[in-house]
Structure 1
Amino acid sequence: MSTLNQALRAALLNRQALLNELHSQGTDCYRLFHGSQEGAGGLTIDRYGPQLLVQSFHAQLPREALLELHAIVCAALDQPLLLVYNDRSQGNSRIDRSDPIYSAEAAALEDLIGHEWGLKYRVRGRHVGQDPLLFLDLRNARGWVKQHSQGKSVLNLFAYTCGVGLAAAAGGASAVCNLDFAESNLAVGQENAQLNPQLPAMEFLQADYFAAIRQLAGLPILPRRRQTLPSYPRLQPRQFDLVFLDPPAWAKSAFGTVDLLRDYQSLLKPALLTTAEGGVLICCNNLAKVALTDWREQVLRCAEKLGRPVRDCQVLSPAADFPSLDGQPPLKTLILQL
């Protein structure tokens, strides 16, 4: 038996109790192998409902090894999962959709449905973007939102495909606003809403983060030097009971720059002002090079200087399908009670 196959079998064994718990909760989307921490750096194996998504980030996986991994997982779960393999080790992996190693069956690339916390989510092994449509390491955070949204107004910033908004709606939120710059992301969010017609309607707002959040916080929008601002939706100042802030590592627009390493404060300050007194701000940082202790101190100091001191701060870690040998997972989530 190969070293890789041994590592996968060990990972599946370690997840036995977790998988039983997830299945009882109505969840069939989770990570089965986290290669960087389980013996094969640059390799991930994820289940999304009826689909098994294998991705390599450092080196292409040989066909025979890929098929062996697929067989091991299907046997362990007693499920004939549809295999999709994305090799993302090359520089053009975002646009290269060729399959030199393995060509997925047509059924594997169709629009499928996965489940989390009893909710339905759109699953696509291949789509216009690069990443899967549901980030699995954020599952615990979506679960927390679902449990604590009853009667609350919720603002989901950098909403992506609106998983947090969906969880809030399922938790009984009085209003949910999903904000994202990409129309394609919100379109998937609307699909997710349609897959769960029992939930109340949500708002989908396509806008630049800085343009929208500064208006909601009652702050002016200032143009960059010698630069004319593009048009943007006009919004009235508004506060929310629960605000979720999960920005990408880096992005730039005419309104500002998202930089989790050097300038998290510019994202955090208006989000704090948009959170109602006595409300909750959940903020995330997914940069591995940023230490939790340093970032937590920075966040608390920023809130204090802004006059919005934090009454309680809780750290929420990813579930056990995202193990971290040093106890410092890349995704860091803070729940701030204001």
Structure 2
Amino acid sequence: MFDPSKLQMLENRLVKVFKHLRKTARRQNITCYRVYDDDIPEFPFSIELYEDHVYVAEYKRQHGMEEEAHEEWLDLCLEVIAKVLEVPVDKIYVKQRQRKANRQEQYEKLSFESHEMIVQEAGLKFKVNLSDYLDTGLFLDHRITRGMVRDVVAGKNVLNLFCYTGSFSVYAAAGGATQVTSVDLSKTYLAWAEENMRINGFDVNKHKFVHADVLQYLDTLPVESFDLVVLDPPTFSNSKRMKEILDIQRDHVTILNKVLAATKPGGVIYFSNNYRRFVLDADHILASDIKDITAQTIPFDFQQKLIRKCYKITR
């Protein structure tokens, strides 16, 4: 059974972290950030602020509560979250998710109600959906990595593989990339990527949006054609629409070497993945330089909590 007195633990924790995070966010002019991530075992949530709305993901676990008791517990938790974050309860959106260390479940629609809104990040606009999918459409943990890409792409040809909703593509266009090619297996997310480009005022006809299985698409790439590639694949995927099963630990060398072949000499790949036990097989990757940039790409709101890896790989 749940002990209501434990709610004070949640409140105390939230008060402490939110005070600190809000200051940093204001100083950096950031309006979308993570506030809490499974900090206390009894409250297995991820809590993210999207301007004046809150997105709460409850990690599924054996909690031993009847459904009614669980609903009551959740309502009490939401009241605490609303109070500390100074947001009305009706602006909080809740999702339940399996505890997984990857993004393979991103292609799953959860509901048919819809709460979409436009949020800002680094002077750019992004559509997020707080109600319908397991992810909102904007991975907050790659905020710094996106900025790194924007800083170096002026006049360059950019490829964004497994592009999801195209946030890296938007940053690349904002950085003055000549052309951005965004590739994804999901037509829904590809259309979303196009919409994100459009709401930022970019001419979508200047850029390419390719609906394809990335693993097959790699074999069609012309050699030495891209200056910069973003590669952020799921850890594992066995989508019915894919010809092959993707296992990033097993397949990363093959994938990276195909991408390197399509990259110009001196060109760069930003490669990240969310597999907790991922080990890069650097000896078999045909690159001139590989840097682990995980530490410098972790934003202030993900310190000590982030499980993803990030590499800068130069052809």
TM-score, length basis structure 2:
0.82
User: Structure 1 residue 125 and structure 2 residue 107: aligned?
Assistant: no
Question: What residue is the counterpart of 1:317 in the other structure?
Answer: 297
1:143-188 alpha-carbon deviations (Å, 9 max, x no partner): 1111111111110000000000000000111110001111011111
Which of 227, 251, 271 is residue 241 of structure 1 equivalent to? 227
Identity across the alignment (%): 26
Task: Work out the CA distance in 2 between the residues paired with 1:246 and 1:336.
Answer: 13
The farther-off stretch of 249-258 and 160-169 is 249-258
* Structure 1 partner of 2:50: 48
Number of residue pairs matched? 289
1:65 aligns with 2:77: yes
Aligned-residue offset at 1:41: 6.0
2:97 is equivalent to residue 88 of structure 1: yes
Q: Which has the higher helix share?
A: 2
Deviations 1:27-60 (A, max 9, x none): 321111122x466663111112332111101355
- Kindly indicate whether the alpha-carbon contact (under 8 Å) linking 2:223 and 2:263 is maintained by their aligned counterparts in 1: no
Q: Who is 1:333 aligned against? A: 310
Per-residue Cα deviation, 1:241-286 (whole angstroms, up to 9, x for no partner): 0001100011136543321233322221211111110111110121
Helix, strand or coil: the match of 2:288?
coil
- Note if contact 1:169-1:199 (Cα within 8 Å) is conserved in structure 2: no
Distance in 1 of aligned mates of 2:210 and 2:42: 40
SS at match of 1:62: helix
**2:36 equivalent to 1:33:** yes
Work out whether residues 7 and 39 of structure 1, in 8 Å CA contact, stay in contact via their aligned partners in 2. Answer: no
Secondary structure (helix, strand or coil) at the match of 1:213 reads: helix
**Counterparts of residues 1-338 of structure 1 (less than 5 Å):** 2-23=8-29, 27-35=30-38, 37=39, 42-59=44-61, 62-74=74-86, 82-88=91-97, 97=111, 109-127=114-132, 129-198=133-202, 201-216=206-221, 236-237=222-223, 239-252=225-238, 255-290=243-278, 294-295=279-280, 298=281, 300-303=282-285, 306=286, 308-310=287-289, 314-315=293-294, 316-324=296-304, 329-338=306-315
In structure 2, C-alpha distance between the alignment counterparts of 1:113 and 1:95, rounded to whole Å? 19
Q: Contact between 1:153 and 1:176, CA under 8 Å: does it hold in 2? A: yes
What's the TM-score once normalised by structure 1's chain length? Answer: 0.77
C-alpha displacement of 1:9:
1.3
What is the CA RMSD across the aligned residues, in angstroms? Answer: 2.8
Letter in 1 for 2:245: T
Question: Tell me, which stretches of 5 or more residues in structure 1 are unaligned?
Answer: 99-105, 217-235
Query: SS in structure 2 opposite 1:2?
Result: helix
Q: Deviations over 1:8-37 (max 9, x none)?
A: 1121133144212332xxx321111122x4
Q: Which segments of 5 or more consecutive residues in structure 2 lack a partner in the other structure?
A: 1-6, 62-69, 100-104
